[in-house]
Structure 1
Amino acid sequence: MAKHRFLVNEPWVKIWRDEHGVPHVEGRDEIDLYWGLGYCHAKDRGLQMLLMRILGRGQASEHLEASHAMLDIDLFFRRMNWGSDAAVEIDKLTPRAKEICLSYCRGANEYFTQKTPWEFKLLGYHPEPWRLEDIILLSRMTGYLTLAQSQAEIEHLLVEMVQAGVSLAKLEELFPGQLNGLEEDLIRNLRLGHRLVPAAVTWNVALPKMMASNNWVIAGSKTASGKPILANDPHLETNRLPNVWYETVLTHGDRYALGATMPGLPGILIGRTNDLAWGATYTFMDAIDSWIEQCRDGRYLRNRNEWAPFRERKEIIHRKKKTPVEVTFYENEHGVLDGNPKQEGFYLATRWSGSHTGALSLNHSIEMWHAESVAEGMDHLGKFESAFNWVLADRHGNIGYQMSGLMPKRRVGVSGLVPLPGWKPENDWDGFVDYRDLPRCLNPEQGFFVTANNDLNAWGKIKPINISMGPYRAERITELISQQANLRLYDMMNIHFDVYSSQAEEFMRILEPLLPNTAAGRILAEWDCSYAKHSAAAYLFEQFYHRLLQTVFGRHGLGEEVTGFLAQESGIFVDFYSNFDRILLSEDSVWFAHEKRDDIFRRVAEEALAVAPKPWGNMQKLTLRHLLLGGKLPKLAGFDRGPITLAGGRATPHQGQIYRSAGRVTSFAPSFRMIADFAKDELHTNLAGGPSDRRFSKWYCSDLKNWLEGKYKILKP
């Protein structure tokens, strides 16, 4: 230990960095370990923690800036009200979990009493101590933000499409089997106050967006060592500094945990211990619903002839050097109303199943330190209240898969995608599905399991997914695993960096014979469906694909202006491209407006390929921007890094999506990669960034080069 420079050197806890800057916490007991983790989070990611809390409390206008965009963010978080009833959740913590969370807070506050991020001093913000209530708040925020960008948007899009007059036949093709209970006339009469999730909120850089990801686990029967291997690469917004994830090594006696944490929360979220490894992706579980409420005089209709009052909640939003804003929210058992019920009409009320949660997830996250088998890990992770796909492996050779999340029990025949009349009791939720009925499996026959935001309903007793991102990444990873024997660590690394698109392969089967005999057409005809940085064909295919979306769904359906907005300023075509692809690849569709598919492909190809080819990498430039000061200072100041070039596309295992949303550039890429091979007590990782959010720290962006070049550092206890 003498070779290390200690950050903390006490008899009960020692903290030091390895050669990669990753902090190692050695505790006298488990309680002391979490004191050390809280201390590390505050030291290295204090800016990230405190920004998250400011945003979650709806206090950005008070402490950051008083712009209209910031007011929208505050209004959203005040509407969600995730800080409410935290005391109730705290009372649900087990005695040990509560002691650990308190120890974590003490560690964070120990550092914050010594130093707080200088950026807040410039803003005149003096943070309060970190509390148990803040842990509950962040657990809810991180659980919901995936839905805020996906499920709520697609449900809102459905409402707007009905109101715009899109035919039921077209909607049925876009959302097959999901429209039971749809009352078009009722939805057309809805008064929409504003977007349920303001774009400014969805894409604020301080907030983690755990949207697209890959994970897989392979049994020892298919590996060279005879031991299981688990891999994970969460695909989050990468154009931010610091990274969402914070790596750490925790040790107590001969027990260890290696992996990635979320600053502000105690516990390893993905990683491994001596006995068990686990990784996560997002499930696309539909855990958010809207109901149509008939309102008048501040009341809402119940049981066809009873009128009940809303609960009124008044909030005051303080704004820097501006007059405070007072706002009233109206709530009932279906959530928060999107409108003013004192003005007669039909409005939406929206509820997320995890709005009043946190304790159960914390209790079981902390228990993962002691879990010794896949079966035990499945029981803990399955009780998480947020929706994730977990893959697991243990030192005994077992592998498994478990979905988590509070899945509402709905009446038979409805999916949750369609807003239903709130005055009919049969449309209410009837509790939540038991986690053992969610998709899960232990030691699958094929000897491996893959999740990549695809449809996994077949593995459960119930079907929690009504719309998934698409099957392509999962299919490609499955293909790569299936075609090899004696798999090794470097095979996992190759899969992490694979840029072959099964989606493009499907389109090219139709498109290739229809391509024009031009230079661009010939380049595309010879394409290997790889989104390598140098590929001109990948660039040309994307020109074709986006023009095809605009033609079929713009000219023939939603209107070119709306389709252009969805493609250029939203995540709809990014998150749910599989629904649109299903129509584009069909031999016939009502969206084709009586044209033949091949004729549309041929015409669109001629139009789209009338461009000069260029390398795909030219379109894939991305700057990593500082959370608070990104784009506000000269490049030489060093707060922003890049530009970097991303390989990959929307449907490649190495996802590389760069697009605009809410007026700013955002991205989905593998922000963190990890591989756990039970042949050794170690974890191979790389991170798009570094351990620290301190610009002048040597660890600010220390792992980015490894991340770009495909090099993995090794974390050891």
Structure 2
Amino acid sequence: MFKLPKSQTIRIRGPRPKNLRLTRDEHGVPHIHANSIDDLNWGLGYCQAFDRSMQLQFMRILGQGRLCELLDDTEDNLNIDRFFRRMNWRRDAKKVIGQLEPDTLSWCQALCDGINAGFRARRVSLMRLLSGEPEPWTVTDIILIFRMTGYLTLAQTQAESERLFIELLQNGVSDEKLSSLFPLEGQEYDRELIQKVKLPERIIPLELLWQAAIPRMMASNNWVVAGSRTKSGAAIMANDPHLEVNRLPNVWYEAVLSCPDYQAMGYGMPGIPGLLIGRSYDVAWGATYTFADTVDSWIEECKDGKYRRGKSWRKFEMREEHILRKKNLDHVEVFYENPHGILDGDPQEPGFYLSTLWSPANYGAAGLNAARQLVTARNAEEMQHFSGQIESAWNWVIADRDNNIAYQMSGLCPKRNKGWNGFVPGLGWDKDYDWTGFYKPSELPNVLNPEQGFFVTANQDLNEFGTASPINMPMADHRARRITQLLSDDKKQDIASSRDIQMDTYSLQAEEYMAILAPILKEHFNDCLLAEILLDWDKCYDRYSTGAALFEAFYTELRQLVFQDEQISPELSRHLREQTCLFIDFYQNFDQCFLDSNSIWFKEKSQHQCFSDAFEKAKSGFVSITWGEQNRFKFTNILLQGKVPEYFGIDSGEVPMIGGRATPHQGQLYESAGRKTSFAASVRIAADMNESMLHTRTAGGVSDNPFSPWYMSEIQGWLDGTYKKLKP
């Protein structure tokens, strides 16, 4: 395939800030040199538009709910448009802009000016051919993208889990079994009332979002290590955010920023100012999603377009959305809103419905004000303060040049009345279920200079580190425990060991299962070659492991065998596997059932019998294959989505993925609606505060242009687990 020549400079067409200079290093990463922070952001915006014009426009079109108007008018895209119109992430944009500090507003506007200059400079692009001349980028668009990245498939996962609880209850699953899967301890709920709640068909099944350009965020790892445990004697920070990696371009955009006031390098997201993870001279910081419950639902009693509040009836606010369509009649949709969020249903029809609210939905100013400060923080405590102000839910780990390490959770975490954790739906007519404010960052989990000399986050339960307990549905702790194991030994840590941890494929989950399965294999399958393979398996999901592939076959059969009875039909079980996040994000909830021999799920058959039957079924259908042969995917363009023949070079060939759901190097592949979805480290970064550089690797490249030499330039290095060096 034809590729444009490599260039070390980025040509700026038209007016630009004085003394602004844009260059590229040997990896294509833009280095932006300017006189001020605002001028740096102008240059960052220009580079984003130059390298990611298609991605910027595509994400904005999605967020605005205008796919049918500007790109492809299909019924699936109409449903995607309806979803984004429902979320209405441009709401109160003028109010948010008015709450921005003057310096933040200037900083945001500088990014917009740079993006618009970049749009004008990049005259030829596929997106321009499909949707026409790009509209000017505005601060409202920044707010839109800022909110999208904080909700989609992150807070959304919590909302889906809470709805799933209702769906299972309405399908007749017993309270006892529901309690084994969800955080219901101490929660009171009216089963009969929840049975009456009308759940309209989902506007958009999850697999449709996955088919769009939405980057599906998943798990992530980050950690910090004090100098007492490192070879250099300085603190180390490492981070590898996990999300859907089989899309080009990568969701992250890498840059180096230099002006007289500061230098910083790392990753931001196209359409958002500044850097979200990375390092300055003084501080390094990384982020993972925290799985705090920032989404709640309430049961609303409705009739005649009104909802009950105490003994009175109040009108909903009506919002009418007009979706323009290229090929069909325009679609008009009405949404009903009250202080509990957006109603899922039509209140003209009497009945009980759900309203749902995400806590940062109407906010954004404080987060942008804080984001501007991230690169200016001089030490770990300042970074704790700034990161804690961000309204979406993240785990921030921090290291500074003075050898301090820290952790801070961020997010608008609601205060609820005692007795209600927010997972089961509240009663909309009862004021005791209203939020009473938000926890201060100082009340959320946070740590400064932990006694053990390191701190790890991997989406696990971290409530013990705060006075508030905002997490009620954490992910499994296998990755966190494995990283803790590797950091706890006497070996001094360095950049190489950080890389080794990020690439580690040992599964503590498999270890737990094999402790039960191994005696069964020895007792009942002692002459079976496949049993020998599992017994000899080192619990690593590496490329050439047959044991990993066989264990996954067993695990799949066990899940289907146990989690399917008179209450969970085969159809419902398939729905849970293919159209919900439950098996993907919260597999440990099932593990707790399967690994407990006294679990309620083993009433018909014993745990011993279920494990034996699952292995029998797995071995009968198992074709000898390595994990690298089975766990494979292609990098595909987010706009063209695999529709162009491979020889054009728009997509990659198939590549193997190491790791599994429970390994530090996560390597999950799922197929939904005929499309593969992959979850792995989207980028890897590591910083030793004794150095002035950042060690990084991107799954993809800098550019979204298939003809650019920087389109897939880092894929091989990402597969190999090597770092490149990012220097000022």
How would you bin the TM-score normalised by the shorter chain?
Answer: over 0.9
Contact 2:71/2:131 (CA < 8 Å) preserved in 1? no
- Give 1:526's match in structure 2, choosing from 536, 539, 545: 536
CA offsets 1:279-300 (integer angstroms, 9 cap, x no match): 0000011100111111111111
- Give 1:217's match in structure 2, choosing from 224, 237, 251: 224
Partner of 1:561: 571
Partner of 2:639: 628
Partner of 2:679: 668
Partner of 1:596: 606
Contact 1:625/1:639 (CA < 8 Å) preserved in 2? yes
Structure 1 segment 491-506 matched on structure 2, within 5 A = 491-506=497-512
- Give 1:168's match in structure 2, choosing from 156, 175, 184: 175
- Give 1:346's match in structure 2, choosing from 337, 352, 361: 352
Amino acid at match of 1:689: G
Counterpart Cα distance in 1 of 2:419 and 2:203: 25
Q: Secondary structure at the match of 1:368?
A: helix
2:147 corresponds to 1:140 = yes
Q: Secondary structure at the match of 1:243?
A: coil
Q: Secondary structure at the match of 2:360?
A: coil
In the TM superposition, residue 137 of structure 1 has moved relative to its aligned partner by 0.7
Partner of 1:470: 476
Partner of 1:153: 160
2:614 corresponds to 1:608 = no
In the TM superposition, residue 147 of structure 1 has moved relative to its aligned partner by 3.1
**Inter-CA distance 354–117: structure 2 relative to 1 (3 Å threshold):** farther
In the TM superposition, residue 485 of structure 1 has moved relative to its aligned partner by 2.5
2:343 corresponds to 1:333 = no
> What is the aligned residue count?
714
Q: Secondary structure at the match of 2:264?
A: strand
Counterpart Cα distance in 2 of 1:376 and 1:197: 41
2:15 corresponds to 1:5 = no
In the TM superposition, residue 117 of structure 1 has moved relative to its aligned partner by 5.5
Partner of 2:550: 540
In the TM superposition, residue 569 of structure 1 has moved relative to its aligned partner by 4.2
In the TM superposition, residue 198 of structure 1 has moved relative to its aligned partner by 3.1
**Inter-CA distance 560–124: structure 2 relative to 1 (3 Å threshold):** closer
Partner of 2:37: 30
Counterpart Cα distance in 2 of 1:247 and 1:162: 45
Q: Secondary structure at the match of 1:435?
A: coil
Counterpart Cα distance in 1 of 2:67 and 2:141: 16
Q: Secondary structure at the match of 1:632?
A: coil
- Once structures 1 and 2 are overlaid, which stretch shifts more, 646-655 or 485-494? 485-494
Partner of 1:701: 712
In the TM superposition, residue 468 of structure 1 has moved relative to its aligned partner by 1.0
**Inter-CA distance 311–149: structure 2 relative to 1 (3 Å threshold):** closer
Amino acid at match of 1:613: S
Counterpart Cα distance in 2 of 1:177 and 1:187: 14
Amino acid at match of 1:615: T
Q: Secondary structure at the match of 2:541?
A: coil
Contact 1:149/1:197 (CA < 8 Å) preserved in 2? no
Q: Secondary structure at the match of 2:362?
A: coil
Counterpart Cα distance in 1 of 2:87 and 2:124: 27
Counterpart Cα distance in 2 of 1:682 and 1:249: 10
Q: Secondary structure at the match of 1:221?
A: helix
Counterpart Cα distance in 2 of 1:473 and 1:117: 44
In the TM superposition, residue 182 of structure 1 has moved relative to its aligned partner by 1.7
In the TM superposition, residue 174 of structure 1 has moved relative to its aligned partner by 1.5
Partner of 1:419: 425
Partner of 1:405: 411
**Inter-CA distance 661–469: structure 2 relative to 1 (3 Å threshold):** farther
Counterpart Cα distance in 2 of 1:624 and 1:64: 22
**Inter-CA distance 83–264: structure 2 relative to 1 (3 Å threshold):** same
- Once structures 1 and 2 are overlaid, which stretch shifts more, 159-168 or 105-114? 105-114
Contact 1:689/1:703 (CA < 8 Å) preserved in 2? yes
Partner of 1:688: 699
CA offsets 1:643-698 (integer angstroms, 9 cap, x no match): 11100000000000000234421111001000011111000011110000011011
2:48 corresponds to 1:41 = yes
**Inter-CA distance 354–196: structure 2 relative to 1 (3 Å threshold):** farther
2:498 corresponds to 1:507 = no
Contact 2:197/2:352 (CA < 8 Å) preserved in 1? yes
How does the TM-score come out when normalised to structure 2? Answer: 0.96
Partner of 1:321: 327
Counterpart Cα distance in 1 of 2:345 and 2:119: 41
Q: Secondary structure at the match of 1:685?
A: strand
In the TM superposition, residue 589 of structure 1 has moved relative to its aligned partner by 1.5
In the TM superposition, residue 229 of structure 1 has moved relative to its aligned partner by 0.5
- Once structures 1 and 2 are overlaid, which stretch shifts more, 660-669 or 630-639? 660-669
CA offsets 1:274-324 (integer angstroms, 9 cap, x no match): 100000000011100111111111111110x21111111111100112100
Amino acid at match of 2:239: N
In the TM superposition, residue 6 of structure 1 has moved relative to its aligned partner by 4.6
- Once structures 1 and 2 are overlaid, which stretch shifts more, 192-201 or 242-251? 192-201
Partner of 1:272: 279
Contact 1:550/1:564 (CA < 8 Å) preserved in 2? no
Counterpart Cα distance in 2 of 1:290 and 1:160: 14
Partner of 2:194: 187
In the TM superposition, residue 122 of structure 1 has moved relative to its aligned partner by 2.8
CA offsets 1:480-532 (integer angstroms, 9 cap, x no match): 01113221110001001000000000010011011223111111111110101
**Inter-CA distance 553–430: structure 2 relative to 1 (3 Å threshold):** same
Q: Secondary structure at the match of 2:408?
A: strand
Counterpart Cα distance in 1 of 2:405 and 2:397: 8
Identity %: 49
Contact 2:498/2:686 (CA < 8 Å) preserved in 1? yes
- Once structures 1 and 2 are overlaid, which stretch shifts more, 157-166 or 174-183? 174-183
Counterpart Cα distance in 2 of 1:6 and 1:198: 41
Contact 2:50/2:121 (CA < 8 Å) preserved in 1? no
**Inter-CA distance 159–117: structure 2 relative to 1 (3 Å threshold):** farther
In the TM superposition, residue 131 of structure 1 has moved relative to its aligned partner by 0.4
Which of structure 1's runs of 4+ aligned residues deviate more than 6 A?
none
Q: Secondary structure at the match of 1:484?
A: coil
CA offsets 1:51-79 (integer angstroms, 9 cap, x no match): 11111111111011111110111101111
Counterpart Cα distance in 1 of 2:129 and 2:639: 12
In the TM superposition, residue 260 of structure 1 has moved relative to its aligned partner by 0.4
Amino acid at match of 1:681: S
Contact 2:505/2:660 (CA < 8 Å) preserved in 1? yes
**Inter-CA distance 699–189: structure 2 relative to 1 (3 Å threshold):** same
Amino acid at match of 1:7: R
Counterpart Cα distance in 2 of 1:326 and 1:567: 33
Contact 1:46/1:117 (CA < 8 Å) preserved in 2? no
**Inter-CA distance 116–562: structure 2 relative to 1 (3 Å threshold):** farther
- Give 2:487's match in structure 1, choosing from 472, 475, 481: 481
2:361 corresponds to 1:355 = yes
Contact 2:112/2:137 (CA < 8 Å) preserved in 1? yes
Partner of 2:452: 446
Structure 1 segment 95-134 matched on structure 2, within 5 A = 95-116=102-123, 118-134=125-141
Amino acid at match of 2:638: L
- Once structures 1 and 2 are overlaid, which stretch shifts more, 5-14 or 362-371? 5-14
- Once structures 1 and 2 are overlaid, which stretch shifts more, 665-674 or 590-599? 590-599
How does the TM-score come out when normalised to structure 1? Answer: 0.97
Partner of 2:86: 79
Counterpart Cα distance in 1 of 2:239 and 2:204: 29
Partner of 2:4: none
**Inter-CA distance 117–426: structure 2 relative to 1 (3 Å threshold):** farther
- Once structures 1 and 2 are overlaid, which stretch shifts more, 314-323 or 250-259? 250-259
CA offsets 1:315-349 (integer angstroms, 9 cap, x no match): 11001121000111111111111111111111111
Counterpart Cα distance in 2 of 1:695 and 1:567: 34
- Give 1:375's match in structure 2, choosing from 356, 377, 381: 381
Where does the alignment leave 5 or more consecutive residues of structure 2 unmatched?
A: 1-6
2:586 corresponds to 1:576 = yes
RMSD: 1.5
